[in-house]
Amino acid sequence: MANEKVMNRWLVVAGAVLIQLALGAIYAWSVFTDRLTLSLAAGGVYGFSARQAAWVFSAGLASFAVVMVVAGRLQSRISLQKLAVAGGIVLGLGYVGGGLLGTSFAAQLICIGLVGGAGIGLAYVVPIAIGVKWFPDRKGMVTGLAVAGFGFGATIWVKLAGSWFGGLLNTTHLFGLPGVQSVFVIYGIVFAGLVLLGSLVMVDPPEGWQPAGWEPPPPDSTGAVNGAVELSSREMLRTPQYWMLVLMFTGSALAGLMVIYCIRLFGIDALQAGGAAASTAAAGTVAGTAMAWYAILNGLGRIVWGTVSDRLGRRLSLLLMCTLQGVIMLLFFTLGSSAAGLIIGASFIGFNFGGNFALFPAATADFFGNRNVGRNYGWVFLAYGVAGIAGPQIAGWFKDAAQGGDVRAWLTPFIIAGVSCLVAAGIALVLRPPRSAAT
């Protein structure tokens, strides 16, 4: 190793951010929902119900999670770099297809939801798996940095579509397509390009390489291990720690994914009902700002929670994050009646939600080993797919069931989400690393 030239490991972080900027497209979904759900009678192009709009989003999240498991299994056959390239191409094709193939619910469900989600699932684990190998000494920090672009990317895509330079939804009619579809085509091309560029540095460190001055941690005094053993996916699935992580991830992610889906719809309802906005347009502007702050703090939360967990430990960090998220979700219905409250509440939810994507992959590496984290995290990430269906669908069901658009329809979904986070915090209290095979 002494004479072998080794790439600067921070290039991996830069490439990871580029990839994740594109993959964060799915979190920009809320910027399209008011146009998708505008009735045909009111001049809308799509006329989707709230639940249909939620299903496109949920399908994308579920496809994302399921394909991550497939991507983990493919790592024994093709390189991580090729997985990233494939993900970028599939993601781009999904969005371009969603733009070109029409206004029907089926077209958007398949193209944006299933195909776009599959592209994200193929590429998402690559920066995490590569990053952990290059930064075994700072797993929490690097997983936070590696996925921070996912949250920050959503801010860019929300603002480009909605307001920057007049908003692509308002100014663009590529190929004569309506605003939403035109933006999908543009975004598909950009997303593919960003992922392909970032994949250039998605390569493993040389065999036997480790950071200067770092040694792998030994088992603790109880025989528990923290990154000192390697478990295959089959071995991991037999441990109680795996199922505890899945339950925690499901409960914690449900809240953030519910808010991503409904923040614009809820914001418009709550601000008008509370007298904080005189019109739907004014309420929509404030809700758009809340969406942007959600996305910014989502990205920041990934870095902060990941770095904090390297100092406090993964279990305590998970406990704090889930508890804070549960409390803010129980308050969010009340906070949403004012502009400041909506923005502050969304920012806190986004910050805590972002922590999931630093803490759970780092915990997966701690508990089940660094070498197999690319394969194992896909199985843990299935929780995200469950939460991605449950969270938006719960909110969409109560919204559609409300009589006369009653803003109180949002209260029950937020209570459900808050309680789910507190249950996740309770599990964190008893979570411990698995013992080594030798004990």
Task: Give one DSSP letter per residue of 262-278, joined into a string.
Answer: HHHHHHHHHHHHTTS-S
For residues 45-51, give the mean pLDDT: 83
Closest of 261, 297, 247 to residue 420, by C-alpha: 247
Residue-level pLDDT at 221: 42
Structure tokens at 411: 């209260």
Residue-level pLDDT at 223: 42
Q: 117 near 137, Cβ under 8 Å?
A: no
The yes-or-no verdict on residue 193 having pLDDT over 70 is: yes
Residue-level pLDDT at 188: 93
**Is the pTM above the cut of 0.75?**
no
The yes-or-no verdict on residue 438 having pLDDT over 80 is: no
Residue-level pLDDT at 397: 82
Asked whether residue 337 is domain-assigned, the answer is: yes
What tens digit of pLDDT does each residue of 106-140 get? 999 999 999 999 999 999 888 888 887 888 777 66
Closest of 283, 289, 255, 251 to residue 270, by C-alpha: 283
Asked whether residue 9 is domain-assigned, the answer is: no
Asked whether residue 117 is domain-assigned, the answer is: yes
Question: Could you tell me how many helices (H) and strands (E) the chain has, helices first?
Answer: 17, 0
Asked whether residue 8 is domain-assigned, the answer is: no
Rg of the chain on CA atoms, in Å: 21
Asked whether residue 437 is domain-assigned, the answer is: no
Residue labelled with tokens 């543009």: 186
Calpha distance 97→246 (Å, rounded) = 33
Instruction: State the angle between helix axes of 80-100 and 50-74 in degrees (0 to 180), rounded to the nearest 10.
Output: 160
Asked whether residue 215 is domain-assigned, the answer is: no
Calpha distance 365→314 (Å, rounded) = 11
Question: Which stretches within 238-313 are classed as H helix?
Answer: 240-273, 280-312
For residues 282-304, give the mean pLDDT: 85
Q: Which amino acid is at 53?
A: A
Residue-level pLDDT at 222: 39
The yes-or-no verdict on residue 69 having pLDDT over 80 is: yes
The yes-or-no verdict on residue 218 having pLDDT over 70 is: no
Q: How many domains does the chain have?
A: 1
| Lowest pLDDT segment from 265-269, 347-351, 396-400 | 396-400
For residues 67-93, give the mean pLDDT: 88
- Residue scoring higher pLDDT (424 or 177): 424
Q: Tell me, what CATH number does 83's domain have?
A: 1.20.1250.20
Question: Around 312, how many Cα atoms within 13 Å sit in the side-chain half-sphere?
Answer: 15
224: which strand partners?
435
What tens digit of pLDDT does each residue of 157-181 get? 888 887 787 778 878 787 778 788 8
For residues 328-333, give the mean pLDDT: 94
Coil vs helix vs strand at 433: coil
Calpha distance 5→374 (Å, rounded) = 25
Q: 151 near 303, Cβ under 8 Å?
A: no
Calpha distance 273→264 (Å, rounded) = 14
Domain that holds residue 76: 16-207+225-430
What tens digit of pLDDT does each residue of 242-255 get? 999 999 999 999 99
User: Which DSSP state fits 224?
Assistant: B
Asked whether residue 320 is domain-assigned, the answer is: yes
Asked whether residue 388 is domain-assigned, the answer is: yes
Residue-level pLDDT at 403: 58
What tens digit of pLDDT does each residue of 11-38 get? 888 899 899 899 988 878 878 888 888 8
Band of pLDDT at residue 399, cut at 50, 70 and 90? confident
435: which strand partners?
224
Band of pLDDT at residue 273, cut at 50, 70 and 90? confident
For residues 185-202, give the mean pLDDT: 93
